[in-house]
Structure 1
Amino acid sequence: MKRIIMLCLLTCFVFSCGTKKVAVKKKTSNKQRTEQVSIRKLPKETRKVGEEVEEVVNGVAVKIASTEDYIAAFKTVAQEEMRLYGIPASITIAQGILESNSGKGRLSVEANNHFGIKCHDWTGERIFHDDDADQECFRKYNDAKYSYRDHSLFLSQRSRYAALFKLKKEDYKGWAKELRKAGYATDKKYPDKLIDLIERYGLNQFDEEVLGNTYVKFEEPIYSGATYFVEKGDSMYSISKKFNMSIKELQDLNNLKSSSLSIGQELRINRNSEDTIAVVSGTKSPITNTVHIVGKGETLYSISKKYNISINELQQLNGLNDTGLSVGQRLKIKNQ
């Protein structure tokens, strides 16, 4: 009997030791797995509107409390980049304002990175920040001017932005639109945001200062007609802004119940005129359809077909003895 009792006690002891060993192993295994996947989350931006921040610009600590302060701090840097790389200062500053929240964003405050430039092949200091993915690597600079330089290099050394440098430097609207087209930003309103900042704060004056006597004020044509033909990329919003009217006015004038548009669609933009805008080689002319400006490749035949009149009528209206035309030549297409 004693032997049976001893055997039972021994069995219980062995079983209990085995269970503890298993439990310890599981605990150790769980701890290792936790350490491998642990990610430290950084605090999100909590700065208040109007709160003052300090940036290092050209080796000097500059305090920034507003967008105006930001512009004052970086206009000289942007102008220097324009002289060296040909990127309009107005565009550079507007992008800086938009992407750094006027210098108050975490990347600009803690890393002097105003354009969200990621590490890539960067070997210098870095900062980790949640962006498209958690804890992405961004470049960290000891002076914000180097962030502006990397922005210039980013645009000037990549082939997909080559079309930007074919535009006039005073054409900030063209630059804003081409940046979006080239894939710099996915936000469809990115060009409008840049243009709005430039015009609200008069940033194009910095372009004018750099260009000096070579500066030519760049303005879109003022359309005097009553009809607008929808182009690729147009929206009710962009057209209403172009002609200084509300979306509702535009819809009412054209008996539209929705905001959908199609390329080539004709829209009335003036209640009081019968004239329409002539379309010349895919672009709009700033004069009405009583006159046509000859575009590249156009002939009397193609123009006569466009306006549904005969070649003979065109010749008589314009006193032409032959069919020769020159680019830019003005042609009457109907009697006044």
Structure 2
Amino acid sequence: MKKLIIACLSLLIFASCTSKKSLHQQNKQIEKSANKQTSGNYANYTVDSYIQRFKGIAITEMNRYGIPASITMAQAILESGVGKSDLAKYANNHFGIKCTSDWNGKGYYKDDDKKDDCFRVYKNPEESFRDHSEFLKRKRYAFLFELDKNDYVGWAKGLKQAGYATNPKYPDLLISLIERYNLSQFDRGEGKYEKIKREDRVLTDINKNIPNEKRKDKPTDATPIITGDNYIVQQNDTLYNISKRFGLTVDELKALNNMTDNTIKIGQELRVKK
């Protein structure tokens, strides 16, 4: 029995060592590939040169989804150490985004919340910035997209509220960077209906990304369901397209239903007649 226990422990130790060696080899391969692409000459950014290098992609992502460019830049500066972290250099990962169950790309391993946490590897920094936007298009962050796209204070606090970071000072760190380097100069406001259309598009995408098994009461027919003065919300509905369907503005629809935000659920009844 004693020999059997010793043998099992030896196997476990061997398996653990083999696994760690494998992860170490993967990192070495990724570092070797990065060194080959850059000839070992990695950009030695200052904060100003980093801002100049990446402000364009941050503005593009803001215009596409509504995430303030200042927030994107502040997060990138903070998470990547101004592009000098190993993750930024070798994995082109400027936001410290970890591998998740839906990630099919390569992983770079380093200790973080857990030992040998897996972080996403990108082909280039721009891919990292684009994936940062896609990463935020999740149910837990959906309420942030209802903020104005120049509300960096609301976004900073909301990211912490949604659990993006565990550091209680995370919002203050972002706001401090934004104000110190005047990153809000890259933010742009938007008109009322421009905001509604952008929210409609992004929130529809977020709802589509929710796994089907989590959806309830999915309709089998796309025909509008109306009961008296009420409309029953169906899959892919948004306040914007419902209001257009019944000749209302979004604000009028929200007022009729005493709503304080744009969140609706499949099967929910909304009053659509004044």
CA distance in 1, matches of 2:103, 2:146: 29
Residues 260-279 of structure 1 mapped to structure 2, 5 A cutoff:
none
| Coordinate RMSD, CA, aligned | 3.0
What's the counterpart of residue 158 of structure 1? 138
What's the counterpart of residue 37 of structure 1? 16
CA contact (8 A) 2:66 2:145 kept: yes
Equivalent pairs counted in the alignment come to 174
1:228-262 Cα offsets, whole Å, 9 max, x none, are xxxxxxxxxxxxxxxxxxxxxxxxxxxxxxxxxxx
Residues 37-116 of structure 1 mapped to structure 2, 5 A cutoff:
37-38=16-17, 39-40=20-21, 63-116=43-96
CA distance in 2, matches of 1:35, 1:197: 46
User: Of residues 146, 149, 157 in structure 1, which corresponds to 2:130?
Assistant: 149
CA contact (8 A) 2:42 2:89 kept: no
1:139 is aligned with what amino acid? R
2:16 is aligned with what amino acid? V
What's the counterpart of residue 219 of structure 1? none
Report the Cα offset of residue 36 of structure 1. Answer: 1.3
CA distance in 2, matches of 1:176, 1:27: 53
Q: Secondary structure at the match of 2:187?
A: helix
User: Of residues 183, 197, 221 in structure 1, which corresponds to 2:163?
Assistant: 183
CA distance in 1, matches of 2:6, 2:42: 53
Report the Cα offset of residue 131 of structure 1. Answer: 1.1
Any gaps of 5 or more consecutive residues in structure 1? 1-22, 43-52, 216-336
1:150 is aligned with what amino acid? D
Report the Cα offset of residue 31 of structure 1. Answer: 5.8
User: Against the structure 1 CA distance between its residues 34 and 199, is the aligned structure 2 distance closer, same or farther, given a 3 Å change threshold?
Assistant: same
User: Against the structure 1 CA distance between its residues 65 and 27, is the aligned structure 2 distance closer, same or farther, given a 3 Å change threshold?
Assistant: same
Amino-acid identity (%): 49
User: Against the structure 1 CA distance between its residues 194 and 30, is the aligned structure 2 distance closer, same or farther, given a 3 Å change threshold?
Assistant: closer
Any gaps of 5 or more consecutive residues in structure 2? 25-33, 193-274
CA contact (8 A) 1:62 1:73 kept: no
CA contact (8 A) 1:91 1:194 kept: yes
1:147-172 Cα offsets, whole Å, 9 max, x none, are 111110111x2122122112112221
Normalising by structure 2, we get a TM-score of 0.56
Q: Secondary structure at the match of 1:191?
A: helix
Residues 175-324 of structure 1 mapped to structure 2, 5 A cutoff:
175-208=155-188, 211=189
Higher helix share: 2
Q: Which has the larger radius of gyration?
A: 1
CA contact (8 A) 1:116 1:138 kept: yes
Q: Displaced runs of 4+ in structure 1, greater than 6 A?
A: 25-30
Report the Cα offset of residue 214 of structure 1. Answer: 5.8
User: Against the structure 1 CA distance between its residues 91 and 123, is the aligned structure 2 distance closer, same or farther, given a 3 Å change threshold?
Assistant: same
1:37 is aligned with what amino acid? S
CA distance in 2, matches of 1:85, 1:194: 19
What's the counterpart of residue 138 of structure 1? 119
CA contact (8 A) 1:64 1:70 kept: no
